Chain A
């Protein structure tokens, strides 16, 4: 046990080790951040197309969206990552971080789309009908009535998806990228500390830390959105 704490001290006090870990952590954050951004943007578009009222212009886009979410959600993330690395972007010199961001972003978009779609569909139809009866446009009804209520249902699940993406980025170590997970393995190897448990324990703390912060922020947002559910006093 003493050895464990000693090794932790060693990890934090050896610039080479701690810098590797921080570099890995930075890569993890970068991939996750941009992937989540793509996921939310593309996911929103897919969800809007999917929930839009049927029209002849949307028949093909709706079909494409359905195929997209089915394929992405029906195949392993690791396989999608391999396809991106070894098939689609198997171009010499193409920055691997971009490939990774796209792989996770396109994957997350499918899940985010389902989350947003569910959120929109969970808003009572009567809310839309009230807007229609008042002569409001579809756009106003969506922006002022449906979207604000849908967001309340979306935020908790979206928070969950963000956490999932952050953790899932750990598989980029499978294609040799130096993320937090890979850094932990590298530092623990025989050429370095010759102890996997310590760097992996610290890496776990890093993952936990960032996820804790995100969960906290999501909870705060959820709470502020619950305003109209509470008994309002002025």
Chain B
């Protein structure tokens, strides 16, 4: 197995009925990389992310993580290595914060309940929400929910984290809290892909920017290069509008 490459995606395509959302995406991600995916709305950014862990089953193409191709058979196991953070947090409403964190590790028999609980407490303490351990998600603010969702993904120590617009549903104050948590993960060498509209954050955090339009990657590169010297007219136009 090639230990230097985490994730290889070849000719990924996804259609919903006759609507072709992804039109052949080739993408590689190496350990320690932080890729920010940009693009206009409806370009397929979220679908791209959701196909990586098969929340949306790809129509064709392959996704290979650490040399293992994701298939219908192994997808559940593979998902343990791919953490995901959603735009709308998706904390389990009927479970307390603690149970949200421990459900998967305990159910998947990766940790004993008390070990999982200890780890959850440590992570909660770290984000300053230990006092919310027994609260239900409904009583948390958006920013708190999203930070819990992030540490929930971290509970399984994934190799890659996928962030699907993690701050788009938050108020400005909460955005800062969530971004600084992501920033911290970055400083610890976490590998991740993030779809975001926070341009400043993208510039700051990314090791690479990928621009998707109409279901294809049309430009990618280092952040300075991408933002200061965009090559394609489409990206130039996009940057003129958003910056």
Contacts and interface: CB of A to CB of B under 8 A. Distances in A.
Interface of A: 124, 126-127, 129-137, 140, 144-145, 148-149, 227-234
B227 interface: no
B188 interface: no
Nearest to B91: A130
A129 B26 CA distance: 24
A137 B94 contact: no
Contact of A133 (B84, B136, B138): B84
B150 interface: no
Q: How large is the interface on B (under 10, 10 to 19, 20 to 34, 35 or more residues)?
A: 20 to 34
**Majority SS at the chain A contact face:** helix
Contact of B90 (A126, A144, A227): A126
Contact of B76 (A137, A144, A148): A137
A140 B79 CA distance: 15
A145 B53 CA distance: 20
Which 3 pairs of residues, A with B, have the shortest CB-CB distance? A130-B90, A134-B104, A133-B84
Given A127-B92, A148-B94, A136 B107 contact: yes
Given A127-B93, A145-B94, A133 B53 contact: yes
B77 A135 contact: yes
Given A134-B156, A135-B104, A232-B134, A126 B88 contact: yes
Interface string B62-91: 000000000000001101101110101111
Contacts of B95: 144-145, 228
Contacts of B108: 134-136
Given A127-B92, A132-B79, A231 B139 contact: yes
A129 B86 contact: yes
Contacts of B156: 134-135
Contacts of B218: none
Given A228-B94, A231-B139, A133 B55 contact: yes
